[in-house]
Amino acid sequence: MAIQVVLVFAVGWAAFWASGRISHLITGDPATRQLALKALMAVFSFVLITVWRHKVAGSYGLTGSTGVRWTRVCMSGLAMGAVSSLVILLAGGRGMQAVIQSFKFYQIVLFVWLGSSIAEEIFTRGWAQGALEQWRDVKWGGVSVPVLTGAVLFSSMHVSLFFKGVDRITATVVVCSTLLLGLAAGKLRERHKGLGPAIAIHIAFNVGGMFGGILYTIGYRVITGRLPFPAA
């Protein structure tokens, strides 16, 4: 089992690294690069699922979901994202502006909220979690091996923020909060079989992050009479 976990983690990180390198070669525009990165991750996901199916049979989340309480799933994601943003800003972080400041709003919606959420869930909850499905009855701290592995892989991918100009407070909180999001999404995938609920909570988390920033800005303006991050 340990060898399989290490193999999935190593292959996952190699695919993520390769997607990043290729996207940098394709374009220098940050928004287009983000689109290319997530598209490449989706392609790698389907290739890996095809390869792994010869060893581990299963749907890899590419099936319908039943018994989902969608309102609860979405509200949970919104709350987690909002809390994450509030913790970042209250702790003195500046958020994700270093990464997305050049994005237009529609690009944030399409490439970050939707594109990233879908591609990352197919990659981590679809392929990575599905590749270890045979170990779902083995649990560490009450969490199954597939769910935990997918969550750690997902969280570790965000360590790259430390090298993209994002401040340490923001990057640290994002790595921790994405671990929690990964555990929640993984449990939804495990419980409901399909990727739909995992994608939904991920999208809601990203949207919630924006609402958390808006709430902080409003509160800061009411209390101090000025904006938290005035233009230089």
| pLDDT tens readout for residues 38-59 | 999 999 999 999 999 877 777 8
- Strands 143-144 and 139-140 turn out to be antiparallel
What digits encode the pLDDT tens for the residues 190-223? Answer: 999 999 999 999 999 999 999 999 999 998 888 8
Q: What is the distance between the alpha carbons of residues 13 and 80, in angstroms, rounded to a whole number? A: 25
Structure tokens at 29: 């525009």
Please report, for the chain, the start and end positions of each structural domain, with discontinuous segments joined by +.
Answer: 2-224
Whether the Cβ atoms of residue 215 and residue 79 lie closer than 8 Å to each other: no
How far is Cα 40 from Cα 14, in angstroms, rounded to an integer? Answer: 12
Which tens digit of pLDDT belongs to each residue from 92-144?
998 888 888 889 999 999 999 999 999 999 999 999 999 999 898 999 888 99
Give me the pLDDT at residue 185, please. 97
Whether 127 and 150 have beta carbons less than 8 Å apart is answered as no
Q: Quick one: tokens of 141?
A: 């701290």
Q: What is the pLDDT of residues 147-203, one digit of tens each?
A: 999 999 999 999 999 998 899 999 999 999 999 999 999 999 999 999 999 999 999
DSSP 31-89: HHHHHHHHHHHHHHHHHHHHHHTTTS-S-TT-S---S--HHHHHHHHHHHHHHHHHHHH
